Structure 1
């Protein structure tokens, strides 16, 4: 699996490469802006179903931010919401087959992680001043200064690599499964297609299993019946190059790696951001 492809280069500042990740990120940003305008327009006192769902989602987001960061930090909700939606949509856009997942590029997650770190440092400086912020690296004892520095550096690195690793790893594994299933499809069809008798036999067994599965409502028999029937039919037609086994199995993997893992990583990244920023912005009485 290769990195993001460079479409073209803008001749500024030594060359700015426009990659697949750049295009995917701008597409996600454009879609989110359009959704915000459409969902936020024509608000009524007697809300429609669409408005009720939007208000419920916004309320849930504010409740989550306030419960994690405190009510005094509720003004961070738009940022957290934008971060979560950019992350989950950036992962889901790879399922289109046209765009590459923006979160499968380390530069994307590193940028988000650095933004979180800069926000934390800015909040600490705003509350304690530059001297108070620097003093935090030498407490409780001077010997701890290297460990504190390592902790500050490791925070964005761990956030970035966790998100990137899960999405990119899922993409690599799915690609390997696609390649393996294509190879198996060609091998099976080549083996069955050597004899017309074997092809007819496989087709007959598949039809029998499919009929039995429909009659008894057994899903396993239906699946094997379809596989055997398609194998026999393609071998008799001489279509040995059709990767028919790629249908279905990668879809199941996609449910986990693209949908479940993408959603979980977006939630985890947002929660970690809320925790780190919340620690840097304690309630006024604690500050």
Structure 2
């Protein structure tokens, strides 16, 4: 998609970025619908199947946070729910014939940097301020400060490459199969779409969120 300005200049927006905006829009509408249904729900009546699914999802996220971060960090549950929802929906767009936003490294890196800045903000808070945060890089001895800094920077890079690499690989394999098989591709690629787009997509979103929880939890120590 290209945006053209009156002066003659233009900005090209990749399809993956537009699809990321689409995912945000869909999740926003879903959140509004869920909010309305919860407000209308009555205690003396059994919840609908839709609300049962939402309840299962919320319990799943709460159990993840309790297992990986502890019960004293349940304030991070909404953040983890938002992260896993966005990444999972973004990863499975290939089933609908759309490019997964996470197959674009800029999107994967943005997600990893989002977690990175949360981790650094948490470290500053738990260290008692910026001075304590900077001092933490010199532990146990000041000599290894460069190694600690490199290790910290490596976390978002490894997270982004892991997410991008797995989703991009699946998308590339499916594109090659569709190109090689032509009209017969639906017969072969249908079950592979379920694996690469659905199973692998949800799995990678789970792994990303698990890593985010581990890093944030470590930042509070």
Post-superposition CA distance 1:121-160 (Å, at most 9, x none): 1111112111111111111112211211110111000000
Measured on the aligned residues, the alpha-carbon RMSD in Å equals: 1.8
Q: Residue 14 of structure 2: which of 11, 16, 19 is its match? A: 19
Q: In structure 1, which of residues 239, 264, 270 is the aligned counterpart of residue 209 of structure 2? A: 270
CA apart distance, 1:77: 0.9
C-alpha displacement at 1:281, in angstroms? 2.2
Instruction: Return the TM-score normalized by structure 2.
Output: 0.90
User: Whose radius of gyration is greater, 1 or 2?
Assistant: 1
Structure 1 residue 252: Cα displacement: 2.0
Residue in 1 that maps onto 2:163: 163
- How far did residue 76 of structure 1 move? 0.9
CA contact (8 A) 1:10 1:18 kept: no
The change in CA–CA distance for 1:10 and 1:147 in structure 2 (over 3 A counts) is farther
Match of 1:72 in 2: 72
Please give the secondary structure, in 2, of the residue aligned with 1:138: coil
Contact residue 112 and residue 160 of structure 1 kept, 8 A: yes
Where does structure 1 lack aligned partners over 5 or more consecutive residues?
A: 1-6, 183-242, 283-287
Shift of 1:261: 1.0
Q: Distance in 1 between matches of 2:29 and 2:63?
A: 25
1:9 is aligned to 2:3: yes
CA contact (8 A) 2:112 2:157 kept: yes
Deviation at 1:276, TM superposition (A): 0.4
8 Å CA contact retained: 2:88, 2:205: yes
Structure 2 residue 100 is matched with structure 1 residue 101: yes
Aligned match of 1:150: 150
Q: Quote how far apart the aligned CAs of 1:16 are.
A: 4.9
Structure with larger RCO (C-alpha < 8 A, sep 6+): 2
